[in-house]
Chains A and B, each alone.
Chain A
Amino acid sequence: MILTLLKSPRAAPFIYAVALIILWELAVRIGDMPVYILPAPSVIVGAIVKYWSPILKNSLVTLWTTLAGFLLALVGGLALGLLVGWSKAIYSGLYPLMVGFNSIPKVAVVPILVIWFGIGVVPAIITAFLIAFFPVVVNVATGLATIEPETEDVLRALGASKWDVMTKIGIPRALPYFFGSLKIAITLAFVGSVVSETIAANAGLGHMMLAAQSQFNVPLVFAGLVMLAVEGIVMYAVMAEIEKRTTGWARRGGVR
């Protein structure tokens, strides 16, 4: 019975997660770990129940700042990706700039954002945007750069303008790449918003964890981590589902 469950790919994620939690609980209890180093899962659950109201409030703040930054990244990334994919000259001009910009650790930008916008949600949204938009641009530009020359010839011989080629071939062709980048972008957006919240914010999970840490409330810090993981997994699953639904043709549906 247990053996068949272990072999089922549907049950596997739950079994592995539960196993990890049990292992963690046992390790803490047997090793007699102090709670301010590593709280046991049961203690963390206790903290979630005890502080549910501030946790919920801050989780929602983090969620909406992340989503706001993420949406900006989608729009901006799609627009810039199309621009970069439009011509070789724009591509070779902008690409080094973007690579240089992307290699700046975004943590280093947060103090500047605080000077410009003050402490609050705006720096978090912008940090999430800055970190999430690069993979979107690269993916969209790749999709456009890999149009088959014959397909383009067929259209151009008919008198198609650059705009026709873009809307009839380029954009549909880049969409699977775009939707594929959403999964990466949402994960990075969480990194961005939380980094910014831990540096300069008055709300959000990052801010809450920083406050809890300064009071040595380690179970609450871990409760914050758990909430981040939950939000991350849920958003990732949503993006994966969107990708699956929008790009059926690229997966060939498995039927022939």
Chain B
Amino acid sequence: MFVSLDGVRLAYPSDYGEVLALDGLTMGIEEGEFAAVVGPSGCGKSSLMRLATGLHLPQSGAIRVADKPVTGPLSITGMAFQNPSLLPWRTTLANVMLPLEIVRPHRRRLKHERTAYTQKAEDLLSLVGLEGFGARFPWQLSGGMQQRANLCRALIHDPVLLMLDEPFGALDAFTREELWAVMQDLHAQKRFTVILVTHDLREAIYLADKIFVMSARPGRIISEHRVPFPRPRPMDITYEREFVDLVQELRGEIADARKEVA
């Protein structure tokens, strides 16, 4: 397993006492696999993201990424959130290149090989359909374009693991589908491992190889589904019988998980 969480428990203090976010969570993802995590709201999906990137350490259980136990922030990961969080004082290109100023060994090489790195960032921008927008400031871009740039920033340092926390959640339906296609192409081309946290079941099935369903808090994995559809997947597939059946099945499981709390 490339990413493995084994019996993970995470609790954090809050104003109402200690909140148990995850308990007994076990999951495994192969290298190059596209995994999606779905579940009722507040089930600790975002805590999962913070654990797998090493931003938080669990109280108990083991987390391994790329055959090493996770003990702190992992610079081999890239992250993108629902909020594009681009820095408004930097151009789009400079925003995309920000991780290169942080991550070793790029931060040492950046000064001498700026042209090569700039070219790389521009290539990535054109890959997501933002060719020629590098000199614009983020606030001059539409929401969909900002999210494309955000994906580029998450990928510029060639991470082997990409963590996506509802990155398309705030976009309109058409832009969202456009970005699903962009995401699928990026994954086909670069073959990184992905963990996508989402509320959107169509999104999860369209993009993922494997889907994990989480229970209500404290979160653990209650079921695991393989998505059988061959790649590349056309957008029309989302309206076909088998696809819709899978959506219904997942819906049912999440509805049951919600009932348990209520």
Residues of A within 8 A of B (CB): 148, 150-151, 153-160, 164, 168-169, 172-173, 249-250, 252, 255-256
Contacts of B101 in A (CB 8 A): 164, 168
Considering the complex, give the chain A residue whose CB is closest to the CB of B86. Answer: A151
Q: Tell me the count of chain B residues lying within 8 A, CB to CB, of chain A.
A: 27
CA distance in complex: A148, B99 (Å): 17
19 residue pairs of the A-B complex, CB under 8 angstroms, read A151-B87, A153-B50, A153-B55, A154-B79, A157-B55, A157-B77, A158-B73, A158-B75, A158-B102, A159-B74, A159-B104, A160-B102, A168-B98, A169-B87, A173-B89, A249-B137, A250-B88, A250-B89, A252-B88
CA distance in complex: A172, B87 (Å): 9
B234 to nearest A CB, angstroms?
A: 32
CA distance in complex: A158, B103 (Å): 6
Query: By the criterion CB–CB under 8 Å, are B83 and A159 in contact?
Result: no
Query: By the criterion CB–CB under 8 Å, are B79 and A157 in contact?
Result: yes
Closest 3 CB pairs of A and B: A159-B75, A249-B89, A151-B85
Instruction: Report if B54 contacts A (CB, 8 A).
Output: yes
A106 to nearest B CB, angstroms?
A: 35
CA distance in complex: A22, B18 (Å): 71
Main secondary structure of the interface of B (DSSP, over half): loop
Query: By the criterion CB–CB under 8 Å, are B140 and A157 in contact?
Result: no
Q: Which of B50, B102, B104 has most A Cβ within 10 Å?
A: B102
Q: A150-B81, A157-B73 are in contact. Are A168 and B102 (CB under 8 A)?
A: yes
Query: By the criterion CB–CB under 8 Å, are A172 and B103 in contact?
Result: no
Considering the complex, give the chain A residue whose CB is closest to the CB of B91. Answer: A249
B21 to nearest A CB, angstroms?
A: 16
CA distance in complex: A173, B153 (Å): 19
Considering the complex, give the chain A residue whose CB is closest to the CB of B141. Answer: A256
Instruction: Report if B220 contacts A (CB, 8 A).
Output: no
Query: By the criterion CB–CB under 8 Å, are B89 and A159 in contact?
Result: no
